[in-house]
Structure formats: C-alpha cells, structure tokens
A and B are shown apart, each in its own frame.
Chain A
Amino acid sequence: MKKIYVKEEVCIGCKLCEVYCITSHSKYKDVLKAFKFESITPTPKIVVEENGPLSFSLQCRHCDDAPCVKACITGAMQKDPLTGIVTCNTDKCVGCWTCILTCGFGAILRDEKNKVASKCDLCADTGEPACVKNCPNDALVYSEGGIKA
C-alpha cells in the first residue's frame, strides 16, 4: 500500500501540513472557513516533531499488525483489509486513549474537544493526502515502498 514518507533534510518546519490536514478534515474543506467559521476546528491528525534545525511531520504508519487495532476496547480502530488503511470510527470511540498508549510512533493524538482519538486516514476519500499535496518544499512523499532516489 502507499504510505507517507518524510524527507527530513528538506522539511522546514513550517507546519503547513497541519493547516491543510485540518482543512481536509473540516466540514467546509476551505482553509479560511475551516479556521474561522467552523465552531469546532478539527484537530490535526499529524504532528511536526522538531529538534534544532531537524524537523519532520509524523503521521500514522498504518502498521501491518497494528497495535492500536488490537488494543481498541470498542472496535473503533479498524484496518481496512483492501486498502490497508487504519481508521478510527469516531462514533464508537469512547476516548479511553488506550490506542495512544500502544502506538509505538506517537502518531495518534487526542481530540480533546470531541473526546475521540485523532489519526491520519491518508485522506482516503480524496486520493492524495492533503499534507503531501500542499507541502511547499516537497518534503512529504506519498508512495509505495519508501522514498525513491
């Protein structure tokens, strides 16, 4: 399956990936409306880690044998057998945060406002992740089998 990979040598830590992630998961799908008019702005499903000049954006790895799916007490975390994408059904999620505890990458975030887990779904309905599409320095790559030389 295709996954998101980061070229940390050209990640500039601008956090526009977070902005567009929020936009992509908003009701209006528009940057301005998502931030200004939506009563509860969605939580980004991506986090930018920084240490000095080194930075990279981190999102769900959609593991083959996903620990969060195993750990989920309500079955909200599911791995689609066809696409391989791990998603969180927010209707079932009760916000126990067990998935956050088990995720070895720290890729699952708390949506405190809605009390549900927030994680990358690869923008499955749009075809290309919004963070990859809008990265200003091409630091994010959406491909199968890693970053090509």
Chain B
Amino acid sequence: MSLNYLTPEFKVIRDYDLCINCKVCMRQCANEVHSYDEQLYKMVADDFKCVNCQRCVVMCPTHALTIINHPQDFRQHANWSYDTIRDIYRQAETGAVLLTAMGNDKPYPIYWDKMVVNASQVTNPSIDPLREPMELRVYIGRKPDKIELDENLNVKTQMPPQLKLEVPILFSAMSYGSISYNAHASLSRAAEKLGICYNTGEGGLHKDFRKYGKNTIVQVASGRFGVNREYLNTAAAVEIKIGQGAKPGIGGHLPGEKVSEDVSETRMIPVGSDAISPAPHHDIYSIEDLSQLIFSLKEATDYKKPVGVKIAAVNNVAAIASGIARAGADYIAIDGFRGGTGAAPKRIRDNVGIPIEFAIASVDSRLRSEGIRHTVSLIASGSIRNSADIIKAIALGADAVYIGSAALIALGCHMCQKCNTGKCNWGIATQDPYLVKRLNPEIGYKRLVNLVTAWGHEIKEMLGGMGINDIESLKGNRLMLRGIGMTQKELDILGILAAGE
C-alpha cells in the first residue's frame, strides 16, 4: 500500500521510573493503544491509536502517564494550520465525509464570557441566601392570558399543564443508543432526586426507566423511534425534535453496530440496522402541519402534558420561534451551535448555526414585542458550562437551560470527540458491554446530583448579590447584564448595555 501521510495526533509519555507494569492502562484502553512487550519487559504505546480520552492517565496507580499533543508540527502558516492539512490528508486517504462528535469547537467568540452580571450596593441591599429564602423553582409551559378569581378569591382560570422544576436546569436530549444504558440510568435517577427532568432524545424510553416518567421528557423526532401511546403518556412532557444545534438541517444517524437487542426493542427497529432519522419530518412542510402534530400529541395525552418543540439556532430563529409559539407549542427549546452530539459531519458541526446567546435574546425580544411571550417557555441549550452561564441565559430571556455536555463531563467524559466510534473508554457513548459497565450508575447519579446542587448554590449567591430572591425576577432582566468587548450591533441584538453605561 502507498504511504500514509498522517502522523499521530497525540503522544503518550510514560515515566518508566514510575511504571510498575501492572497493565491497568492496557486493560482499560478500548482503542488498544497500550501493550506489554515481552522482550523489552516494559509497556509500550501505539501513539497513532490514541484519542486522548485520559482514561489511562486517570486510572494509573502511580501517575506514570501523560498525554500531550504530538510535538511533530508543520511549518507555521496562518492559512494552512495543522488541523486543516490533516483533514485533507484524511479525506485524500479515505474519500469519506469527516465525522466527529460534540459541538462546534472553532474559536468563535463565546459571548457568555463577554457579559458580566450586576450586583447591588448602598441604595439597594444585597440578599444573603444563608439567611433569607431564595426561590429557584420554575414552571415550564404555557401561561394563561389572565388569571380570573371568583368571589372567594379562588383561581377560576383553567391552568394549562406545567413542568415543575426545582432548579431551572434539565438534562439534554441524549438518546439511548447514542449514550449507554448506564448513562441513562444515571441521568434519570439524578433527575428524580433533583426534582428536574431529563430528556430521552429520539431513541425511545427504555422500559427500565418508565418508573422515572414524571421526571422524563420524551421526544418525537423525524424517525419516530419508540413512539407509541404508552411512551407519550408515561412522560411528563413531549418534545417534537425539529433540529439540533450541532447539525442543523440534517437528521440523526445511529450506526447499526450500536443497535443491540436492547436498543432494538426500545427504538422498535431490527437489531443491527442503522437508525437513520430523515432531515425533515415528512409530515411537516408548513407551520400548519407542525400545529397539527402539536395538537395530535396533546390529544394523545389528554391535554395533560406540555408539548414543546426543539429547534436549532439558525438565521431567522426569532421568526421561526414566533411561528412555533402561534402553532400552539407550550415551550420551545433552542439549541445553539455549540450543542453537543454523538455523531455529526465536521463541516456542518463547525460552520452551520449561530450561538445560543444571540438566539435566546432575539427570540425573547421578538415574542415580547408580539405580545405572545407568556404563551411559551424558552429553554436554552448549547454549551452551558457553569452557573454563571445559566444566570446570563435567564437574564437574556430563557426560562431554563438544558445541559448535555456538562452532564456527561460530570459522568467522566473528557471531550475526546470520538463518540461516533462507539469506543468510549468512560462507558458513556457506547453499547459495548465491556465499556458500559465502566460507568457505575450508583456513582454517576451522585456526581450529577452534586453538580446541579453546586450550581444551585452558586445561582442563589449571584441572585442574592443582585438583590433578587426569585429566579423568575431575573427572567429577561437585561438590565442585570453588561457587555465587555462587544460591538454596538452585538449589544443591540442581545439587548444589553456596555459595561460602565
């Protein structure tokens, strides 16, 4: 065969003074990087296979291992970077579309980091959450135009179905098949413990997790995997998946190798067949068709559950959201281009869509100006990394946020962006029974509970600093934000002032 022009992407450095030849790294690497050389009496590594998932580094009992970017580099060229050249070598070698995982990793500006939050002083006292009650509970769903009371001051107005969340955080749609059974077990149990919800994604609801129904949002996607009446009625809410931030405009693809007996039963497809979701819903070609589907789902659930719609953040997202709100949706989930995925073409992941910060601000502004903001709740997603990002998302107009990548990182994910291979060494994005058991759901759910609990504490601290004691008072409160290092146009779209103004 001809010469392969590629060089290793990472380099395994082993401190042989610390290595005890226990072979733990060899056993724990699904990519088969490590092996024991019987002639040399030592461990050796095949750098070519390394994806830098950090599994061996973390597991090594003597911390003998370090993974670095491979120092071999091309001559410096501003236009032809290392990654750019490597991509061409790979495609010249294979003739294939480049696949990758997780969200957009290009260095576009992160607008969360260009916004700062207000604090109260002197004339408006701050609140101490250790001494005074703080409310983080939110209700997701349609709100009535007005509240009517009878002569005894009892509420007369029929309240539409609501999703009650103890903190304004939900676990993002990540389907069974894309992530493992144990990952789903961790997410569902943590959602119940926290009093929030997790989203099944389009992969159906595994029978073992029906018991967490009141903390579950189920999806109806273009492929309709696992959708039946029981599925819809078991959940707390139903979400129609139109688009996803990491890959707007295309559908999902779960390779056949990941479709095990269990995945097959849950998704209602044959074992080993590729699960391909079409790019469009073939029954939705207009806003009226979407409205029909929304009301079909409400009929199927006896009007007892909120029905939401998930869209990708793209150009004209505000107009799209306005149409969806008028079509009868109870909430809209908007996924920015940094939202993660299990598999996506690299060019689409890196070049299609817009940041969630602009999307949420423009949608909230548009719905307010049209007088229909109260008819839908907005859920923001697409790389919410910490509690400060949540504060900013809510101040821009979101009711709550979905976290996906952050939740997986809590479970052990190290962002190697190789979910599509199914060889996740942390037991998350895989169906391989050797790997799935690496994620102990007893450990996983506690880590998730700890993460959301910690963020909840921080949100209360920041709210208190602003002199606010209820998260609802922050919603759409753009006065609490200031921009640093942004153009006037960017500030205008976000609806905020510059720092110092």
A residues in contact (CB < 8 Å) with B: 7, 9-16, 18-20, 31-32, 35-36, 52-53, 134, 136-139
Contact = CB atoms under 8 A, between A and B. Distances in A.
A32 B27 CA distance: 20
B20 A14 contact: no
Given A19-B61, A138-B442, A138-B443, A14 B437 contact: no
Given A53-B433, A53-B437, A137 B59 contact: no
B22 A137 contact: no
A15 B442 CA distance: 20
B18 A32 contact: yes
Given A14-B27, A136-B59, A35 B20 contact: yes
A18 B28 CA distance: 15
Contacts of A53: 433-434, 437
A48 B442 CA distance: 22
Given A52-B433, A53-B434, 14 more contacts: A7-B440, A10-B437, A13-B434, A14-B24, A16-B61, A18-B22, A19-B20, A19-B22, A20-B61, A32-B18, A32-B20, A35-B21, A36-B20, A138-B442
Chain B contact surface mostly: loop
Q: Which 8 A-B pairs have the closest CB atoms?
A: A35-B20, A53-B433, A10-B440, A53-B434, A137-B440, A12-B438, A19-B22, A31-B61
Interface string B1-45: 000000000000000001011111001100000000000000000
Given A15-B22, A19-B22, A32-B20, A137 B62 contact: no
Nearest to B446: A138
Interface string B48-75: 0000000000010110000000000000
Contact of A14 (B59, B62, B440): B59
B62 to A, nearest CB: 5
B433 to A, nearest CB: 4
B471 to A, nearest CB: 35
B203 to A, nearest CB: 22
A10 B434 CA distance: 10
A32 B23 CA distance: 14
A139 B27 CA distance: 16
B19 to A, nearest CB: 9
29 contacts: A7-B440, A11-B437, A12-B438, A13-B434, A14-B24, A14-B27, A14-B28, A14-B59, A15-B22, A15-B27, A16-B22, A16-B61, A18-B22, A19-B20, A19-B24, A31-B20, A32-B18, A32-B62, A35-B20, A35-B22, A52-B433, A53-B434, A136-B59, A137-B438, A137-B440, A137-B443, A138-B440, A138-B442, A139-B440
Interface in B289-306: none
A11 B434 CA distance: 10
A32 B62 CA distance: 7
A136 B18 CA distance: 20
A13 B443 contact: no
Contacts of A12: 28, 434, 437-438
B437 A16 contact: no
A36 B23 CA distance: 15
Contacts of A13: 27, 434
B20 A15 contact: no
A4 B59 CA distance: 22
Contacts of A32: 18, 20, 62
